[in-house]
Amino acid sequence: MKLLAISSQRVPDELWNAGVPARTPAFRLLGVRAQMRCVRRTAKAAAITIGSAIAAAAIERIFFATPRWRGQVTGHFDGNRFHNLERGRQTEGSFLKWQANRRRGEWPEHPEQTFGPKPPERVRDGRLRVTFINHSTTLIQMDGVNILTDPVWSERVSPVSFAGPRRHRAPGIRFEDLPPIDLVLVSHNHYDHMDVATLRAIGKPIIAPLGNAALMQRHGVYRAIDLDWWESKRFSDDIEITVVPARHFSARAISDRDRNLWGGFIISGQSGNVYFAGDTGWGNHFAEIGRRFAPIRAALLPIGSYMPRWFMHPAHIDPAQAVDAHFALGARTSVAIHFGTFALGDDGEYDPLRDLDYALAGNGNPPFLVLDQGEGRDLP
């Protein structure tokens, strides 16, 4: 075997310390042994790195990623992942580009904690009452049934409690001031919509799009069922829930993008039809929902997290599109949601309200309400 030659310019210290003359067989043998020790150290470091990566991937999939949905192939499920009906999506590359070039809007702090009045215990006799609590969390009261949408009372919307987007305002209603909750609607698995700590605290039946029930069960939330787009579930003699399409995506971690379905809801009762959009970009689903469930008495539409448009438009409508959705749905009244709590896009806290005012003024000021956090109102 030919021994490796060691340059005199890079002689290991132990060779010099051993007093071995350079360029002798003994010197070269010691050099080979030093190289082998270096190779072993490198191999050990590589093994540790690979093992750490495997362990991190296992932790991500066990504790954070959503379980994979397995079902029949449909027009929006390819047997592996769900997808939107429209082309265009937020890619990983575009996300990195956005993160490297962010221009964040202003979000002032609100250290004061002001809460709305305690909502009524029940609403009946054809009344429809909506309370805006924060972000996409609303209380819908109709036909004697109390429904919470995407309830979030946690301080942060993140996989961990010590980092990630934190709220700039306290929830508009104290958790202990809620009336008896009968049903919870969860539109998709993003942390600002599926807050498992809050869901565990509520402990009531949940309806969500496909795949989300297994995810919630993994986190100790056991009373959830999931439905496909256009599937319905009768909750009581007076209330039926239908999951309807949205243009968005799902992910709780790195490896689970689009493993669960996302969507909105139609709440149908004797008092009329209420549409809760959840998160959505623009699409033909607005007109189709309006056609299938006409007349829509109230539509709860997102107006925030829409900037920059080049990145956000596949997943979030902007305020002007929210007004367009109001008309496409044929809604009698719309209510703004998904704003004023978490800084998730580059729009500032008040940008959605300003742009909504412009859009409403340019469209004849249709009945599109902006409620204060904690404010409840009976809708016509």
The per-residue DSSP string of 258-292 comes to: TSS---EEEEEETTEEEEE--S----THHHHHHHH
Report percent pLDDT > 90 for the chain.
72
Joined tokens for residue 190: 């993003």
- The whole-number pLDDT of residue 370 equals 98
Burial of 41 (0-12, 13-18, 19+ CB in 10 A): exposed
Q: Give the C-alpha separation, 262 to 210, whole Å.
A: 8
pLDDT < 50: residue spans in the chain: 1-9, 11, 15-16, 53-58
DSSP state of 171: -
Residue 233: how many other CB atoms lie within 10 Å:
15
What is the H or E stretch that residue 50 is in? helix 25-59
Q: Partners of 4 in the beta sheet?
A: none
Residues in the chain: 380
- Say yes or no: domain 100-378 is CATH 3.60.15.10: yes
Joined tokens for residue 211: 């795949």
**For residue 308, is the peptide bond before it cis, meaning its omega torsion is within 30 degrees of 0?**
yes
Q: Give the C-alpha separation, 170 to 154, whole Å.
A: 9
- The whole-number pLDDT of residue 57 equals 46
CB of 332 closer than 8 Å to CB of 297: yes
Longest CA span, the chain = 102
Q: At what angle do helices 285-292 and 319-329 cross, to 10 degrees?
A: 30
- The whole-number pLDDT of residue 2 equals 43
Joined tokens for residue 149: 């949408």
Q: According to CATH, where is 3.60.15.10 located in the chain?
A: 100-378
Q: What angle do CA 313, 316, 319 make, to 5 degrees?
A: 95
SS3 assignment, position 134 = strand
- Measuring CA to CA, which residue among 189, 181, 193, 179 is closest to residue 150? 193
